[in-house]
């Protein structure tokens, strides 16, 4: 039974168009079927069929807002699965300067579903632990000092069933970055306040406005960064 189930899951991503859609959705946002069609280079009618297959498999879920319908990754576990599978594609040999630069940008800072990954994501985890904002003595937990600093930065501490903090293995760094509802809230706050800028390919630009808040979180980023990172 496990073999059959694994084959069924693999078959969902075996189609290049569905794989392209899932990679696009890894930016954590909700997309329309038309937008997914353009990202995969296929007709909207074909995209609708692929979305139906992804919904049936539990990879994506529909979201309705007013008269508009959107699609997004069903939950963080699905995003983590796709993120880890993507490493095989990203680690293939690159050709050309543009592709090489794209890979370096993704390795430096990118979205992992709804939180920060890459060199910047790992630096965020290291910095918050080093400065006592997070402790890992009995599993990852936010400290009183961490709550205070995040409050000063205007980041609301999320409430809900999703874990506040968890370890998320970063496939480019081969070390953990921070996953969970808190890193998601921190990243969303950073985008809203001009600390970070999303790129269409999931890469993230760390903007000058991020320097002071990141320093308060103990983050030390390398001086040399990919162009426009």
Q: Could you tell me the CATH number of the domain that includes residue 39? A: 1.10.10.10
Residue 190 lies in a domain: yes
Q: Which pair of tokens denotes residue 79? A: 């995003």
Residue 92 and residue 188 in one domain = yes
**Higher-confidence position of 1 and 185:** 185
Domain range enclosing 173: 79-216
Residue 229 lies in a domain: no
Report the pLDDT value the prediction gives residue 69, as an integer from 0 to 100. 84
Residue 221 lies in a domain: no
Q: For residues 32 and 71, is the Cβ–Cβ distance under 8 A? A: yes
Count of structural domains, the chain: 2
Distance (Å, rounded) from C-alpha 150 to C-alpha 18?
Answer: 38
Residue 204 and residue 100 in one domain = yes
> CA nearest 123: which of 222, 220, 224, 229?
220
Q: Report the predicted TM-score, pTM, of the whole model to 2 decimal places.
A: 0.75
Last residue of a domain, one of 17, 45, 74: 74
pLDDT for 172 beyond 90? no
For residues 76-99, average pLDDT:
64
For residues 150-160, average pLDDT:
95
Distance (Å, rounded) from C-alpha 99 to C-alpha 218?
Answer: 32
Distance (Å, rounded) from C-alpha 53 to C-alpha 58?
Answer: 9
DSSP three-state, residue 154:
coil
pLDDT for 97 beyond 60? no
Distance (Å, rounded) from C-alpha 169 to C-alpha 42?
Answer: 32
For residues 87-103, average pLDDT:
56
Residue 196 and residue 103 in one domain = yes
Residue 180 and residue 88 in one domain = yes
Residue 12 and residue 98 in one domain = no
Residue 66 and residue 84 in one domain = no
Report the pLDDT value the prediction gives residue 3, as an integer from 0 to 100. 61
**Higher-confidence position of 172 and 123:** 123
Convert the pLDDT of each residue in 139-151 to its tens digit.
Answer: 899 999 999 999 9
């Amino acid at each position: 039974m496990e073999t059959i189930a694994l084959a069924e899951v693999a078959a969902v991503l075996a189609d290049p168009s569905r794989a392209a859609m899932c990679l696009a959705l890894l930016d954590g946002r909700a997309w329309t079927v038309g937008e997914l069609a353009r990202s995969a280079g296929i007709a909207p009618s074909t995209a609708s069929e692929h979305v139906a297959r992804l919904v049936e498999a539990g990879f994506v879920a529909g979201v309705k807002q007013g008269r508009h319908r959107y699609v997004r990754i069903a939950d963080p576990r699905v995003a983590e699965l796709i993120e880890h599978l993507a490493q095989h594609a990203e680690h293939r040999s690159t050709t050309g300067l543009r592709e090489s630069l794209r890979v370096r940008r993704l390795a430096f800072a990118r979205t992992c579903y709804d939180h920060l990954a890459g060199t910047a994501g790992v630096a965020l985890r290291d910095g918050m632990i080093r400065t006592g904002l997070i402790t890992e003595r009995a599993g990852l937990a936010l400290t009183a000092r961490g709550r205070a600093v995040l409050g000063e930065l205007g980041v609301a501490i999320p409430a809900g069933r999703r874990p506040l903090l968890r370890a998320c293995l970063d496939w480019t760094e081969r070390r953990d970055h921070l996953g969970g509802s808190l890193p998601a809230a921190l990243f969303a706050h950073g985008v809203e306040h001009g600390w970070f800028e999303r790129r269409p390919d999931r890469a993230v630009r760390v903007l000058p406005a991020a320097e002071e808040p990141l320093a308060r979180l103990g983050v030390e980023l390398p001086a040399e960064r990919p162009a426009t990172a």
